[in-house]
Amino acid sequence: MSEPSILRAREGDIAIVTFNRPRVRNAFNLSMWRELRATMEELSADESLRCVVLRGAGGHFSAGADIGAFAQERGTREKEDIYAEVLRESMQSIRLCLHPVVAALQGSAIGGGAGIATMCDFRVGGHNLRFGITARNLGIWYPYSSIDVLVQMVGTAVTAEILIEGRIFNGQEAYEKGLLSRLVADDQVEGEALALAARIASGSPLSARFHKQALRKLRGSLPITPEEERAAHGFVETEDFHNAVRAFLAKQTPKFQGR
Amino acid sequence: MSEPSILRAREGDIAIVTFNRPRVRNAFNLSMWRELRATMEELSADESLRCVVLRGAGGHFSAGADIGAFAQERGTREKEDIYAEVLRESMQSIRLCLHPVVAALQGSAIGGGAGIATMCDFRVGGHNLRFGITARNLGIWYPYSSIDVLVQMVGTAVTAEILIEGRIFNGQEAYEKGLLSRLVADDQVEGEALALAARIASGSPLSARFHKQALRKLRGSLPITPEEERAAHGFVETEDFHNAVRAFLAKQTPKFQGR
Amino acid sequence: MSEPSILRAREGDIAIVTFNRPRVRNAFNLSMWRELRATMEELSADESLRCVVLRGAGGHFSAGADIGAFAQERGTREKEDIYAEVLRESMQSIRLCLHPVVAALQGSAIGGGAGIATMCDFRVGGHNLRFGITARNLGIWYPYSSIDVLVQMVGTAVTAEILIEGRIFNGQEAYEKGLLSRLVADDQVEGEALALAARIASGSPLSARFHKQALRKLRGSLPITPEEERAAHGFVETEDFHNAVRAFLAKQTPKFQGR
């Protein structure tokens, strides 16, 4: 039987969640997204906790969605409607978690990996971090609810650099752009993330929970209808998406046609 | 008869407001919050003014709410409903002031002191500034309307550092995070604040007033009902709050239970 | 016949738009605002394009509205209602453009020139850039829809520095405040803007278009009524505005009365 792809540990009143597919830089397939949600929901229900730390095994946070699994899990409208819903619920489980969540960002936090990091309340990163969202390399459209979290954090201009340019930031750049709460040496990322979690845990948990939900609540509901949200899955019906995935898997550069 | 806790002076078309309880680092009790509101409303009604500068006597801006007065002024739901309303109106009197308001931040701007500073249109700070909101040290829930001003200024991630981590920034950090409009040597804070006020005063006052109200208006009304706003006073009914205030006054570290 | 005030060129799938009134640092009069809108709408309709670069001839981006033309084009309520509508549609034509738009900011980007830059998705600037909005020097009220774009990009505090203080930032300051996507040597501004456009053009155009419209859509509609928008043209009926324009043209310092 294989090792679980998400591990859990506890140090005092802090939970530590480890993404554990180091051979693929902790890339997420559908079942791992589901495991993340289940994990976060269980931790959220545990009122004895004060903080949650997310980290990746093997020196990387996460390379995002597992493109090798696309052929099976995505690629038709029907499959994408399911995949997108699982992804959305998984991302929201971090935002909705009762406790503050800290991301310990070593190595790569790319695509959905960067997406997970932006759902957290705090991000600690190292100088050699590679942070970016590569949806535009594959002809994917990033979901409205995840774009909105970025805009609320760093504004529209930095969000455009991330999504439209597809820029990959190193740690220093990510810090300057407001994407990291803290920048430290690479070998201190996990130590600093745990120290930050301990500081958070030393404060009033009811205050932390109130303030976390207040930040969500003040956003109000998004001006996006369910139909518009679903229309954003339409990229799976473009030629460009299918060609780009094929090119990626063949280690070729995709040629986009705009259709 | 004691000296007034808020002093007023005028230099040309600039009003200078001084918080004047230096023995408690200009901490605010209920009557001082009321005085601040009355002061700001009078200044706002004076159309001959062009700018208001807020400063603290004795080398500190303000240590925030006077915790020594909590036993008398806060601590029951009834008292807190009154206190929170006075605090809210006092904070809003800065935002609603007809004229631009500049905070001259020397020494400590902590808790409600930092809150006052964020209500201002401009913040000039020195390198040794200590800037932070310590509600989470006492089990207090920071009000929605004040959280919102922070989010509009610096985004959700920095607001989480302030409220959930309870981080105290020095001047350089506060500048990097977007909390200061200007960073100068400590002994130049007041001079630079006055120079900034003079620059503001040299421009069109009708433009300044239009632009100040436009920044408020573009936010729209908050997605928070009056009931939700009032529910946020609920922290006064938690054990943690009462224990933390007792611990603070006894110079002990509070132990939070989450209830 | 005079040269057109807006030039167009094309390099592969990138369109290059040049503001071409170098003798007045590419200041915009009414007909040039109309030309800008017509240009952007034509480029937006060309689905073979991948990116648009905006630049100025003669070493400056744009000095903004041509104050020499105010006597003819603005100054009465009737004229201002027309001018403001043309300006608004011209600014929106950049935001509504199907393709990502990059501003190459050399020299001055002042007033409406800075306004154009903020409508773009990306801003590349040089160290000697002068970037600022000088509406308050003339008693003008900056339009709500343009203020909103600034707030969404850099937050309320930096917007106050721009509009209420009327601060002119150099390149380094503009970068630190989040107004520039990239800061380079002055003689590399255009090269870097084109390189950025090429990087954008290498990604999925359907992703770029989706992400660009998503950033607009997530803002929702502004909490400003058409009546409030129109009331913001009221500055043309103030004495201060007329005096300030006269003073500017006579190279004198205006004295504002607040009426």
**pLDDT beyond 70 at B248:** yes
Query: Tens of pLDDT along B61-71?
Result: 999 999 888 88
Nearest to A56 by CA among A96, A10, A23: A23
Which residues, in sequence order, are CB contacts of B168 under 8 Å at separation 6+? B110, B130, B131, B132, B134
Query: Tens of pLDDT along B37-73?
Result: 999 999 999 999 999 999 999 999 999 999 888 889 9
User: Which amino acid type is present at position B195?
Assistant: A
Overall average pLDDT of the B102-131 stretch? 98
Q: Where is average pLDDT lowest: A61-70, C8-17, C165-174?
A: A61-70
Pair of tokens at residue C256: 């504002």
CB A105 within 8 A of CB A124: yes
Residues C136, B199: C-beta atoms closer than 8 Å: no
Torsion (CA) C133, C138, C141, C142 in degrees, nearest 10: -20
Is the residue at C113 inside a domain? yes
Helix/strand/coil for B56: strand
**pLDDT beyond 90 at C2:** no
Q: Supply the pLDDT for residue C3.
A: 82
Overall average pLDDT of the B22-27 stretch? 96
Is the residue at B247 inside a domain? no
State how far residue B151 is from chain C, nearest Cα, in angstroms.
Answer: 8
Mutate: best of C134, C156, C238, partner B, most B CBs <10 A? C156
Helix/strand/coil for A254: coil
Pair of tokens at residue C212: 């660009």
Query: Tens of pLDDT along C36-90?
Result: 999 999 999 999 999 999 999 999 999 999 988 888 999 899 999 999 999 999 9
Is the residue at A185 inside a domain? yes
Is the residue at B40 inside a domain? yes
**pLDDT beyond 70 at B251:** yes
CB C171 within 8 A of CB C180: yes
Average pLDDT in chain A: 96
Is the residue at B32 inside a domain? yes
Q: What is the pTM of this model?
A: 0.97
**pLDDT beyond 80 at A174:** yes
Average pLDDT in chain B: 96
Dump strand ranges (E) for chain B. 6-11, 14-19, 51-56, 101-105, 108-110, 122-126, 130-132, 182-184
Residues C147, B100: C-beta atoms closer than 8 Å: no
Distance CA C40, CA A246 (A): 35
Query: Which residue range is the domain that position C63 belongs to?
Result: 6-207
A13 touches chain C (CB under 8 A): no
What ipTM describes this predicted complex? 0.97
The confidence band for A212, taking pLDDT boundaries of 50, 70 and 90, is very high
Residues C204, A138: C-beta atoms closer than 8 Å: yes
Question: Which residue stretches of chain C are H helix?
Answer: 30-45, 70-73, 77-95, 112-119, 135-138, 144-160, 171-176, 189-202, 205-219, 226-231, 239-249
Pair of tokens at residue A207: 């205050």
Which residues, in sequence order, are CB contacts of B38 under 8 Å at separation 6+? none
Q: Supply the pLDDT for residue B71.
A: 86
Query: Tens of pLDDT along B233-245?
Result: 999 999 999 999 9
Distance CA C205, CA C103 (A): 19
**pLDDT beyond 70 at C1:** no
The confidence band for A45, taking pLDDT boundaries of 50, 70 and 90, is very high
Overall average pLDDT of the A19-44 stretch? 97
Where on the phi/psi map is residue B2: left (φ > 0), alpha (ψ -120 to 50), or beta? beta
Dump strand ranges (E) for chain A. 6-11, 14-19, 51-56, 101-105, 108-110, 122-126, 130-132, 182-184
Nearest to B242 by CA among B135, B139, B133, B112: B139
Mutate: best of B146, B152, B156, partner A, most A CBs <10 A? B156
CATH of the domain at A167: 3.90.226.10
Which DSSP category does B68 fall into? Answer: G
Which DSSP category does A102 fall into? Answer: E
Edge-first strand order for the sheet with A101-105 is A6-11, A14-19, A51-56, A101-105, A122-126, A182-184
Residue A54 buriedness (CB in 10 A; 0-12 / 13-18 / 19+):
buried
Angle at C39 between CA C98 and CA A256, to 5 degrees: 35
Residue B31: CA count within 13 A, CB half-sphere: 7
Pair of tokens at residue A48: 């004895």
Torsion (CA) B117, A158, C108, C91 in degrees, nearest 10: -100
CA B185 to chain centroid:
22
User: Which amino acid type is present at position C189?
Assistant: V
C159 touches chain B (CB under 8 A): yes
Which DSSP category does A5 fall into? Answer: S
C231 touches chain B (CB under 8 A): no
CB B153 within 8 A of CB B118: yes
Overall average pLDDT of the B17-30 stretch? 97
Is the residue at C241 inside a domain? no
Residues B141, A206: C-beta atoms closer than 8 Å: yes
Which residues, in sequence order, are CB contacts of B5 under 8 Å at separation 6+? B19, B20, B21, B31, B32, B35
Residue C216 buriedness (CB in 10 A; 0-12 / 13-18 / 19+):
middle
Query: Which single residue is written with the structure tokens 């977007």?
Result: B178
Mutate: best of A97, A151, A206, partner B, most B CBs <10 A? A206
Is the residue at B47 inside a domain? yes
CB A107 within 8 A of CB A128: yes
The confidence band for B3, taking pLDDT boundaries of 50, 70 and 90, is confident
Q: Which residue of A has its CA nearest to C154?
A: A155
User: Which amino acid type is present at position C31?
Assistant: S
Where on the phi/psi map is residue B73: left (φ > 0), alpha (ψ -120 to 50), or beta? alpha
Residue C72 buriedness (CB in 10 A; 0-12 / 13-18 / 19+):
exposed
Q: How many domains does chain C have?
A: 1
Pairing of strands B182-184, B122-126: parallel
Q: Supply the pLDDT for residue B88.
A: 96
**pLDDT beyond 70 at C131:** yes
Query: Tens of pLDDT along A46-97?
Result: 999 999 999 999 999 999 999 888 889 998 999 999 999 999 999 999 999 9
Residues C211, A141: C-beta atoms closer than 8 Å: yes
Q: Supply the pLDDT for residue A75.
A: 87
B142 touches chain A (CB under 8 A): yes
Overall average pLDDT of the B168-184 stretch? 97
Q: Supply the pLDDT for residue C75.
A: 87
Is the residue at A30 inside a domain? yes
C103 touches chain B (CB under 8 A): no
Q: Classify each residue of A134-163 as buried b or exposed e, where b means 16 or more C-beta atoms within 10 Å of its C-beta.
A: bbbbbbbbbbbbbbbbbbbbbbbbbbbbbb
Residues C157, B155: C-beta atoms closer than 8 Å: no
Element (DSSP H or E) covering residue C17: strand C14-19
